[in-house]
Amino acid sequence: MNKQDYYELLSVSRTASKAEIKAAYRKAALQHHPDRNPGDAQAEANFKAASEAYEVLTDDRKRQIYDQYGHAGLQGQGYQGPQDMHDIFQSFGSIFEDFFGFSGGKKGGGRPSRGADLRYDLEISFKEAVFGVEKEITFQRHTPCPPCEGSGAQAGSKRATCPTCGGAGQVRRSQGFFSIASPCGQCHGEGSYVVSPCKTCKGKGVQVENKKLTVKIPAGVDHGVKLRVSEEGEAALQGGRRGDLYVVLYVQESHRFVREEADVIVQEAISFPEAALGGDRVIETLDGEATISIPAGSPHGHRITLHGAGIPHLRGKGRGNLYVELQIQVPKKLTKEQRQLLEQFAAISGESGKKGGGFFQKIFE
């Protein structure tokens, strides 16, 4: 049975942001959650499908594969989606807690927070995008304060458990079918507070640092591709995992090459005698100089294919093709001798006085 398109399933556009996808998933999850539809097999199936769509569309790598290859592309990567309700609750526990105040029946809270993700915009050349490159980047991020080791508390003192939430970081209230949780106002969701703040970081637990990092850019990337560098983002409080760094690529345009996915088109100017007579010509390709053979009688716009001379496939083997598009150039001015020779050619060909251009019209058709 064919799966429903993920974007249609969540009623979002193909350009929807993560925030829009999350909001759409929240609406679908509220509608079809098993707790609101006990014994309803169809509601459970809808809930499972919505969760699978959310998981794919909020994961940059999975979403890129899905956008390019659809469901078949994900299956080719071994992704099968959550198989039962237990898998869903295990995978989406923190999301359900954020939405509804529960996590598959298990109480949350008390766990270290995760650091925020960072974005770095990186401009690279066309050739660097084609063949890959390593780039050293420098950016600012927060790192745990050395004196207090990220706790925010002065040396020799400790954080105290929040009396309002009892260390859970959340306060709960019942609303209909659900127990709604919200961050504790006193400790701001941390579950504890600093009694004696660290003098270096003023109790924040973090400091700003300039981070140098070498990023490996694979061959075949395109404009707008996001590269995730795990745990190179902002530091987390209380020993939690760092966020991720997302490097967004901006590829400069080439004055010669035009990209169409993995294929490349290059326009090559030739004279009309070359088009008529044919012959060999040395041209510039992505890999350097190469010789092409121009067939005799080539029309304007004729393409010569160089197989495997295009851009490497980002997720696959081999390369695309390079298409050399012939552009026949007609001189704006002719010498007296050139004009006489062309007039002789036209006369020999029986084209003198004909309407429609004769030989030259055939070249440019």
Residue 91, class by beta-carbon neighbours within 10 Å (0-12 exposed, 13-18 middle, 19+ buried)?
middle
Residue/partner pairs of 346-351 with CB below 8 Å, 24 or more apart: none
Q: How far apart are CA 226 and CA 214, in angstroms?
A: 15
Cα(293)–Cα(13) distance, integer angstroms: 47
> For every one of its 365 residues, what pLDDT tens digit does the chain have, with 9 covering 90 and above?
567 889 998 999 999 998 899 888 888 887 887 667 777 888 888 888 888 888 889 888 888 888 888 888 777 666 666 655 444 544 454 455 555 444 444 444 445 568 889 999 999 999 999 999 999 999 999 888 888 877 778 887 877 888 888 888 777 776 555 566 777 877 777 787 788 888 888 877 788 889 999 999 999 999 889 999 999 998 876 667 888 999 999 999 999 999 999 999 999 999 888 888 889 999 999 999 999 999 998 899 999 999 999 999 987 789 999 999 999 888 788 888 888 887 787 788 766 555 555 555 554 44
Residue position matching structure tokens 């929040």: 162
Q: What's the CA angle centered on 151, arms 147 and 153, to 5 degrees? A: 70
pLDDT of residue 319: 93
pTM over the 0.85 mark: no
Q: What are phi and psi of 85, to 5 degrees?
A: -65, -30
Tokens at residue 236, please? 């987390």
DSSP string over 120-157: EEEEE-HHHHHH-EEEEEEEEEEEE-TTTTTS-BPTT-
Nearest of 268, 110, 304 to residue 192 by alpha carbon? 110
Domains of the chain (ranges; CATH) run 1-108 (1.10.287.110), 112-152+203-252 (2.60.260.20), 159-194 (no CATH), 257-364 (2.60.260.20)
Phi, psi of 326 (to 5 degrees): -80, 130
The predicted pLDDT at position 101 comes to 45
pLDDT value at residue 221: 93
Q: What is the pLDDT of residue 135?
A: 95
pLDDT at residue 212 in the model:
94
Q: Which pLDDT belongs to residue 109? A: 44
User: Which H or E run contains 179?
Assistant: strand 178-183
